Every structure is written in C-alpha cells, then in structure tokens.
Amino acid sequence: MPTEQDIRAYARSLPRIYQEILSAFPNIEPNRKAGYGLAFQTISADFEERGVGISLGEVIKACDQLAQHSLIEIKHKIFAHPTEYGEQVIEAITGGQTATCEVPVLPSPPS
C-alpha cells in the first residue's frame, strides 16, 4: 500500500489533464460522497465553462486511462467513479480544498 507521501508525489507527477479531471469531482459537487461519480459530459461541460481547453473526447480517453490504473471505475460507459485510491489522489491534488456550496435558507410557504 502506498504511503501518503507516495500518493502526493504521484499526484504531482500526473499530467495536467488527469489532475484537472480528478480535481473536478470536488469542484463540481462539493457535497459529493467518496466514490460518487460524474458523467463524462458533466466534467467536459465544467471544463468548457472554465475555459480549461479539454474536449469531451479527451475526457473520455483520459478516463479510460484512469480506469486502467484503478483510479476510477467507469459505470454504464458514461460515469466516472473514483476508487478508494482515486479518492486519495484527489485529496492529494486538491489538498482537501473544495468549492463551497452555500444556498440561502428557504422560507416556509404561507399556510
């Protein structure tokens, strides 16, 4: 089992596309539970919105590579779900930082 230091070094060594994809999980869904997945199209749409410059085709090919290295599982041919090891790499890439997701309290409707 790799040490935390090994995981951090591995995360830093990943090419940008893999770092972008893995860091997208907590950025897109801050309240996501470990192992919950995202559709390839959702990841690609986030990249397009942020001007990252990574196409849907590139996301799919990169996710295939991430799956081959057991960082994610691909389900139903369109969803990328991080594995336990993938979650550790995500943590190393993001430093545990996620986007905040705040919404105002919804007032009760009149009765």
* pLDDT per position as a tens digit, 36-63: 999 999 999 999 999 999 999 999 999 9
Using the predicted structure, report yes or no on whether residue 72 has a pLDDT greater than 80: yes
Q: What DSSP string runs through 6-44?
A: HHHHHHHHS-HHHHHHHHHHHHH-TTPPTT--EEHHHHH
Domain boundaries, the chain: 4-94
pLDDT of residue 100: 65
Q: Considering the entire predicted model, what is its pTM?
A: 0.85
7-14 LR contacts (CB < 8 Å, sep 24+):
7/88, 7/89, 7/92, 8/92, 10/89, 10/92, 11/89, 11/92, 11/93, 12/92, 14/89, 14/93
Token code pair at residue 92: 């190393």
The reply to whether CATH 1.10.10.10 applies to domain 4-94 is yes
